[in-house]
Structure 1
């Protein structure tokens, strides 16, 4: 696995994520039907299809991520659009003009992504949201010390965080309306966050 992400790797990550969202559209919708509006899979698939159409040419990682943000905000319904849109927008700002990002920049990307979601969603770990996958992933990445080890650790941490939402009672978002009935269901937002992080690891692995 490479220890720096070029713009081409980031572009491949975005394209891989679009494929993953299409492949998991029914699964994400099934998860969301239990504790949400049964639209998360369709929304993420539609959003990433729009992302692929809007990707700019050039060699600017920040510009790519900002384009992801704008497309998701405009095309993804429900809470996911603003949350993922803000996540990518905040994370793109320090990366504008960069054609390649190393460990420090990617660690900052994870931290800024988490900060953007917290700011927009007014949520934190333990509330049965996407943050239950994103925060452990960000912490695991930074602790690992390299891009390759960090992405492997982030995937493991995100998957555990995703599964840890199953016994939780939701206290934020649409699922919180269900109270105790939200228990024993995996959070769809944490699941799509895990899938995005896994796609990043896979894109980096291919570039080794």
Structure 2
């Protein structure tokens, strides 16, 4: 994944010193937009940039800030892409994560992020039972049944790896 390499390089750079959590996510989103091809770069970049803008000024990343990030990022992705839950897209995992984040926003970050990542994974897995009506897979129609949406899996993996990082 070119985007993960670009973000990893950004984070390991001695020149990058974000002043807060929001700037970290905003800058990561910009890197995603510039390094990922196709619609994925725009969508994931929008999520991270818009979520980051919503938490600018936050010095700590806790479960409340996580929820603020996901709520704002989701709204921006909806506005940009037009997909909705049930369309068999990354939205299915993102909305599941966002809803769960609102339920656990008063828990400690480790437990909250684990729970949010699991909700995203379940949302991605649920796309297996959906017919794609949006995105690249919509041309497959009924043939998309039985397969998970790659964008939903990507979304769930991002949250899974965030959780693993926080929980180590």
Give TM-score, length-normalised by structure 2: 0.89
Q: Which residue of 1 aligns with 2:159?
A: 197
Deviations 1:115-152 (A, max 9, x none): 12111110111000001111111111221231333212
- Higher mean C-alpha displacement, 178-187 vs 142-151: 142-151
Q: How far does residue 99 in structure 1 lie from its aligned partner after superposition? A: 2.1
Q: How far does residue 102 in structure 1 lie from its aligned partner after superposition? A: 2.5
Give TM-score, length-normalised by structure 1: 0.73
SS at match of 1:114: helix
**Stretches of structure 2 lacking an aligned partner (at least 5 in a row):** none
Mapping of 1:91-102 within 5 angstroms?
A: 91-102=51-62
Q: Which residue of 1 aligns with 2:127?
A: 165
- Higher mean C-alpha displacement, 114-123 vs 79-88: 114-123
Q: Which residue of 2 aligns with 1:54?
A: 10
Q: How far does residue 59 in structure 1 lie from its aligned partner after superposition? A: 4.2
1-structure distance, mates of 2:111, 2:18: 28
SS at match of 2:98: helix
Aligned length: 162
SS at match of 1:203: helix
Q: Is residue 166–residue 185 contact of structure 1 (8 Å, CA) maintained in 2?
A: yes
Determine whether 1:63 maps to 2:23.
yes
Q: Is residue 131–residue 190 contact of structure 1 (8 Å, CA) maintained in 2?
A: yes
**Stretches of structure 1 lacking an aligned partner (at least 5 in a row):** 1-44
Moved over 3 A (4+): none
1-structure distance, mates of 2:8, 2:159: 18
Q: Is residue 141–residue 149 contact of structure 1 (8 Å, CA) maintained in 2?
A: no
